[in-house]
Amino acid sequence: METPGGGVLGRLGEKVLGWIALGLLIAIGVGIWQMPAETKGAIWSGVWRSVVWVAAAAAVPWSARLFIGRVLEQGSNWAGAALIAGYSLIDVVVGVCLMTGWPAGAWGWLAGLGAMGVATTYNYLVTEYLAEMSGG
C-alpha cells in the first residue's frame, strides 16, 4: 500500500534534488562573481532588455480591445490575420530596437524565432479572447 507522502525513496529523492539545485545555484553564483565586470554588465543588459521586450509583447495585443469590434465587422479572417501580423511586426521592431540589432549566430536566431513564435501565439490567443468577449 502506498503512502500519500511518497515514501522514504520519494523524500530521499527530494532531498538529493534539493541539494543538487543548491549546488548548481552556488556554482552559478561563483561563476558570475568570477566574471569580468564587462561580461556581467553585458549579461544584465541582455536580461533587462529581454524582460522589457516580454512586457511590451505581453501588453501590445490588449490594445485590440479598442477596435476589435471594427475588425469583427469586416467578417473576414483576413482582417484578424492582418491584426495578428501587425502585432507580430510590432514585436519584431521592439525586439530589434531593444537588442540594438539582429541576432548574431544560429543560437541567437533560433532563440529569436522561438520568442517570436511564442509572442505570435500569445497575440492570437489574446485577440481571440477579446473577440469572444465582444460577442464575435
- Give pLDDT tens digits for 84-131: 999 999 999 999 999 888 888 899 899 889 999 999 999 999 999 998
Same domain, 12 and 65: no
Same domain, 19 and 53: no
Same domain, 24 and 53: no
Q: How far is CA 72 from CA 33, 81, 92, 119, in A?
A: 54, 12, 25, 22
Same domain, 47 and 74: yes
The answer, yes or no, to whether residue 69 has pLDDT greater than 80, is: yes
Same domain, 61 and 99: yes
Same domain, 29 and 88: no
- pLDDT for the residue numbered 123: 94
Query: In this structure, what C-alpha cell is assigned to residue 48?
Result: 533587462
Contact present, 83 and 125 (Cβ < 8 Å): no
- pLDDT for the residue numbered 6: 65
Same domain, 24 and 84: no
Same domain, 70 and 8: no
Q: Which residues contact 56 (CB under 8 A, 6 or more apart)?
A: 91, 94
Tell me, what amino acid is at 65? R
- pLDDT for the residue numbered 1: 46
Torsion angle, alpha carbons of 73, 76, 78, 79, to 10: 0
Domain with 29, as residue range(s), is 1-34
Same domain, 62 and 79: yes
pLDDT tens-digit profile of 7-52? 888 888 899 999 999 999 999 989 888 989 998 888 888 889 999 9
Same domain, 23 and 77: no
Number of domains in the chain: 2
Same domain, 97 and 70: yes
pTM exceeds 0.75, yes or no: no
Same domain, 10 and 53: no
